[in-house]
Each structure stands twice: as C-alpha cells, then as structure tokens.
Amino acid sequence: MTVQAPPLVARARLWPLATGTFSIGFGSYVMAGLVPTVSADLGVPVTQVGGLVSVYGFTYAISTPLLALALHRLPRRLLMCLALAGFALTAVATALVTTYTAVAVLRGLSAVAAGGFTPTATVLAARLAPPGGRGRAVATVFGGLTTATVLGAPAGNLLGPVLGYRGVYALVAALALIALGSVLWLVRPPGSAPAAGPPAGRFGAPAGDVAGSEPVPGGATPGIGPALPVLIAAMLLVSMLETASALMVQTYAAPMLTDLAGITGVVLSAVLLAYGLAGVAGNVVGGRLADRFGAARSIVLALGTSAVALALLTPATGSPIAASAVFALWGFAAWAMNSPLQNVLLALSGRHGQLVVALNSSLISLGTAVGALAGGWVIAGAGYRWLGGAAAGLMVLAVLLVAVLGRRPTVRAV
C-alpha cells in the first residue's frame, strides 16, 4: 500500500520540481533570443545559429523515450539530480567553448539531460498529489516550464547584448544548480525516513519511487490491458496534433502580425506577451478544471477554445487590442490543456507512466517541427491570411478525437 505524503509536505516537494522545469525550459528557450548574439560571437550566419534550436528539439524527441527505457530502474530523485547536474555542466561548457560545432554538440547533450528530468518530475508530481489534486500538482510542475517559455526568448534578447551568450549560459547553469539543490533538500529531505511508506529500495529511495514503478489505487501495479495501448496512442496523437496546430501560428506569429496588421515594435511585443502571460494563467486553471470536472472534458473545452481563437486570428488583426485579446484567449486555452492531458496519460499507462510521459514529450517536440514546416507551407502557398484557419482546422481534428475517446469509460473516469 502506498501512503501519500501529508499535503503540506507534498506541496513543498512540488516547488523544486517546478524550479527544475523552469531552469531547463529557460535554458532551452533562451537560445531563440540569443540568435543574433551567438551569430556575432561565433561569426556564423543567423540561419546556421537557428539550427541550434532544431538540434535541441530533435535530440530531445529521440533521446527522451530511450532514456526512460534505459534508466527506468533508477530512483526518481537520483535521476532528476543527475539530469540537473548534466544540464548545468552542459551550460557551463556552452559558456566556455568557442566554436559553432562545439555549441551544437552541447545543445544536443543538454537535450538528453532535459529528457531525464521533465517526464520524471511530471510522474513524481502526480504520485505526490493528494486525492483529487493530481491536476493541480502536474500544473505546478508545468508552471515552471510555462513561465520559462514566456520569459526565455525575451530574456535572451535583453541579456544577450549585455552579458553575451556566454554570460547568459552561466546564468542557466546557476539556475540548474539552484534547482538541483532544492531537489536534494526538499524532495527527500536529509534524515527523513518513510516511516509509514513502502519498503526502501536502492539509494535509500522507497520501492515505489523507482522511475518505472507506478502505484495505483489499491496498491496494485498492473500491466497495460489489451485496449489501453490504442487509447494511449490516440491521446499521444492528440498531443502531437495540438502542438503542430499551435506551432503553425506561434512560429510565424510576429511576421504574420506585421504582414496583416502592420504591428511592430513595442505593440508587437505586447501582443506576444499577452499570449505568454495568459498561458501561465491557463496552466494553473487547467489543472483545477481537471480536478473538478474531469480531464477529458477539460481537454475538449481547452482544445475547442483554442480552435475558435485560431479561427479568429485573421479577423482580429484589424486592431491591436483585438489581436491581443485573441492571442491571450488562445494562450490561455492552449496551456490549459497540458495538465489534463498528462493526467489522462498517467491514468491509462499505470506502471508505464514514465515511458508514456517521455513519449509524449518526444511527440511534442516532433509536433513542434511538423507545425513549423506546415506553417511555412501555408504561408508560401496561400499566405499569412490563411494561417490561423489552417491551424484551427487541425485543432478541430484533435477536438473530435478527444470527444470520441472521452466516451470510453476508462478515459471518462479520469
């Protein structure tokens, strides 16, 4: 039988996980804002520096599930600490090397380290959650990543000219080390003993704390039933469709707003900031909706709202205020979907949760690449005016798929 940590202890253990996702997310997204600085410092074209983003994304997509399989026997606390230490080391090395090739290799290694932390933290957050609080727990961990998404690129633009990319990555290393210290201190406080918990495993971790072991109600740890792999695959497809739809527009949001509405400078930054800040709020609300109304209903509501917002993007470009409102609505809905979807995947996957969450992370990275490519095709063919509508159409497919899946008792019960 698995004993839940007291609510205050569980909440205290969630914040180090959020700190870790923030440090990793910041180190990932800050590169987009550092492209001009890296280009000048290394003497390579901007387009070549942009490839560093792709190196990270594709490496993360490939390595994350492989890492989950290879290290599934390690206790989660140990795996997260190793991942944060590796991420900090690659950040320090990035600040020291002097060639583009070395930076590219280190970006790939940092993606491998990131893949060891984020899925692990997500699964552990769900395990630490009190009854009825899984959505909020997962949302807390994703809050770090959401905030990093909002701040990463703007921080790179602001700090790059002042500190240089080397100074910024020294800051990334410091953030990762702070997260490492908080995980060591709070996730398993020194000298604590799981008095009423499961038997201790390797490295002093409780047996249920190894990455491949998922406790379920009643203390059982079943395998995946014959119908569940199909449901899991379908939910993973939903995740990829949503990401591809969002990145069709998100990748080209700035030039789209400039082309259709003539929005530039401070006003353009304000519109994009509205998306990011609303996303932070949506992440929090999405977790609460999942706990109160069920994950499947929350996903349908979030994806449906995203589809409406995407369809309204082109009409809204007639006014900066309207564009900000629609972008904010879209950001809120898009990030509100994350926690409920993670809850469904965790509930369906049982003891395979670590691997399934890792696969979801991989598909999100692939969806990012597919969305960027698809958006470029739409712009090259029909132009910016059709970008929002095309993305909305893809989002509708995701809504319909979730609506069908939500009729299954296994999904509806989450």
Of the listed ranges 127-136, 201-210, 267-276, the one predicted with least confidence:
201-210
Query: Do residues 380 and 333 both lie within one domain?
Result: yes
Q: What is the pLDDT of residue 363?
A: 85
pLDDT 10s digits, 5-52: 444 445 556 788 888 999 998 988 788 777 778 888 888 886 677 677
Question: What dihedral do alpha carbons 394, 397, 399, 404 form, nearest 10°?
Answer: -170
Which of 132, 160, 195 is a domain's end point?
195
pLDDT 10s digits, 54-65: 788 788 888 888
Residue type, 243: T
Query: Do residues 227 and 151 both lie within one domain?
Result: no
Higher pLDDT, 238 or 318: 238
pTM of the full structure: 0.68
Higher pLDDT, 68 or 298: 298
**pLDDT class of 394 with cuts at 50, 70, 90:** very high
What number of CA atoms fall less than 13 Å from residue 39's CA on the CB side?
Answer: 13
Q: Is residue 217 part of a domain?
A: no
Residues 6+ apart with CB under 8 A from 250: 275, 371
Per the structure, the count of domains in the chain is 2
- Structural element, H or E, at residue 338: helix 338-349
Q: Is residue 1 part of a domain?
A: no
Q: Is residue 295 part of a domain?
A: yes
Q: Is residue 211 part of a domain?
A: no
Q: Is the dihedral of CA 17, 19, 302, 400 positive or negative?
A: negative
Are the CB atoms for 110 and 90 separated by under 8 Å? yes
Per-residue pLDDT, averaged over 242-270, amounts to 82
Query: Do residues 380 and 279 both lie within one domain?
Result: yes
Query: Do residues 92 and 180 both lie within one domain?
Result: yes
Query: Do residues 188 and 231 both lie within one domain?
Result: no
pLDDT 10s digits, 153-196: 777 777 888 898 899 999 999 999 999 998 888 766 434 444 33
In the chain, pLDDT over 90 holds for what percent of residues?
25
Which of 195, 210, 241 is a domain's end point?
195
The Cα–Cα gap between 226 and 213 comes to 19
Query: Do residues 40 and 171 both lie within one domain?
Result: yes
Count CB-CB contacts under 10 A for residue 193.
Answer: 9
pLDDT 10s digits, 194-222: 433 333 333 333 334 545 444 433 333 34
- Structural element, H or E, at residue 18: helix 7-42
Query: Do residues 244 and 176 both lie within one domain?
Result: no
Query: Do residues 41 and 122 both lie within one domain?
Result: yes
Q: Is residue 47 part of a domain?
A: yes
Query: Do residues 60 and 148 both lie within one domain?
Result: yes
Query: Do residues 164 and 236 both lie within one domain?
Result: no
pLDDT 10s digits, 301-359: 999 999 999 999 999 988 888 988 999 999 899 889 888 888 888 888 777 776 787 78
**Domain, as residue range, for 398:** 222-412
Query: Do residues 382 and 338 both lie within one domain?
Result: yes
Query: Do residues 92 and 183 both lie within one domain?
Result: yes
Q: Is residue 34 part of a domain?
A: yes
Residue type, 183: V
Q: What is the pLDDT of residue 380?
A: 85
Give the chain's end-to-end CA distance (angstroms, integer). Answer: 21
In the chain, pLDDT over 70 holds for what percent of residues?
83
Residue type, 255: P
Q: Is residue 203 part of a domain?
A: no
**pLDDT class of 86 with cuts at 50, 70, 90:** very high
> Which CATH number covers residue 390?
1.20.1250.20
Q: Is residue 205 part of a domain?
A: no
